[in-house]
Amino acid sequence: MKNKQEIGSPMIDKPIVVALDYPSLEQALAMAAQLDPQRCRLKVGKELYTRTGPKIIEALSAKGFEIFLDLKFHDIPNTVAKAVRCAAEMGVWMVNVHASGGRKMMEQARHELDQVKDQRTLLIAVTVLTSMQHSDLAEIGIDIEPMLHVQRLAELTKQSGLDGVVCSAQEAAMLRSSLGADFRLVTPGIRLAGDSSDDQQRIMTPGKALAQGSNYLVIGRPITKAAKPMQALLAIEQDISNALV
């Protein structure tokens, strides 16, 4: 598959990141036991991490998984930078902050991360939460189209030295063309044709999202709620292969 992934995005293998949205260590590990670390990475978010703390990172890493620690840090620069350092020292593959924390916060996080010896943790930013519409932004004083704000925050993220952003697949083509080939785009809201969209508003198929310039696909329920998670993962890989030949 690696050789085929060349439309719109840099060659990146293992694009699937499975969202482990569970309330307990046991449930998360039971799902991980059904997945293959050679074929996917895992995302640990606020619910699971708040419940388990670093134990979940240690347990999943010991099984060979690379982890996206999705805690979306947003605080004063010093606090965010130290939190990012802790994440890197735990050995996570990817960690994120809110771009709306601003340039100083992101630059300090970048600087702190670079001080960690032998770290290769990717540092990315969330632009506009996909749960927010124009009216929600206007209410907090940002009275512009969400896409424009996404573009503005993604540019600030790049200028601040971060590795990429989380964005919707609908924004991937625009951000890929304006921010260049090396900037990582991480996209949730991924569904195969015919899948339930659950509570996602704007969805895209895996192959199309990669073709539009996404690098990593965050996928939860289509895999974690499947009777056979690895079969669901295989179907996603096939959709990617078909789209990228």
Candidates 27-35, 74-82, 136-144, 213-221; binding stretch for ligand C5P (CB under 6 A): 213-221
Could you tell me where the DSSP H helices lie in 134-228? 134-139, 146-159, 169-179, 206-211, 221-224
In whole angstroms, how close is the CB of 66 to ligand C5P at the nearest point? Answer: 16
| Cβ nearer to ligand C5P, comparing 116 with 226 | 226
Cβ neighbors of 118 (< 8 A, separation 6 or more) are none
Three-state DSSP class for residue 95: strand
Cα–Cα distance between 87 and 92 in angstroms, integer? 6
Cα–Cα distance between 241 and 194 in angstroms, integer? 18
User: 25 exposed, middle or buried (CB, 10 Å; 0-12, 13-18, 19+)?
Assistant: middle
Tokens representing 97? 């902050």
Q: Give yes or no for residue 146 binding ligand C5P (CB under 6 A).
A: no
In whole angstroms, how close is the CB of 194 to ligand C5P at the nearest point? Answer: 15
Q: Give yes or no for residue 200 binding ligand C5P (CB under 6 A).
A: yes
Evaluate the CA torsion angle 35, 58, 61, 98 in order and state its sign: positive
In the residue annotation, 72 being an active-site residue is answered as yes
Q: Give yes or no for residue 15 binding ligand C5P (CB under 6 A).
A: no
Residue nearest to ligand C5P (CB): 220
Of 46, 55, 63, 72, the active-site residue reads 72
| Cβ nearer to ligand C5P, comparing 21 with 112 | 21
| Cβ nearer to ligand C5P, comparing 101 with 189 | 189
Q: Give yes or no for residue 188 binding ligand C5P (CB under 6 A).
A: yes
Cα–Cα distance between 89 and 68 in angstroms, integer? 13
Q: Give yes or no for residue 19 binding ligand C5P (CB under 6 A).
A: yes
Q: Give yes or no for residue 189 binding ligand C5P (CB under 6 A).
A: yes
Candidates 28-36, 74-82, 85-93, 217-225; binding stretch for ligand C5P (CB under 6 A): 217-225
By C-alpha distance, which of 114, 109, 111, 136 is closest to 125? 109
Question: Which DSSP letter does residue 29 get?
Answer: H
Q: Give yes or no for residue 164 binding ligand C5P (CB under 6 A).
A: no
Q: Give yes or no for residue 18 binding ligand C5P (CB under 6 A).
A: no
In whole angstroms, how close is the CB of 31 to ligand C5P at the nearest point? Answer: 12
Q: Give yes or no for residue 206 binding ligand C5P (CB under 6 A).
A: no
Question: Which DSSP letter does residue 37 get?
Answer: T
Tell me whether strands 41-45 and 122-126 are parallel, antiparallel or unpaired: unpaired
When computed from its CA atoms, the radius of gyration of the chain, rounded to whole angstroms, is 17
Please report, as ranges, the residues that interact with ligand C5P according to CB under 6 A. 19, 21, 45, 129-130, 166, 188-189, 198, 200, 218-221
Active-site residues, by number, are 72
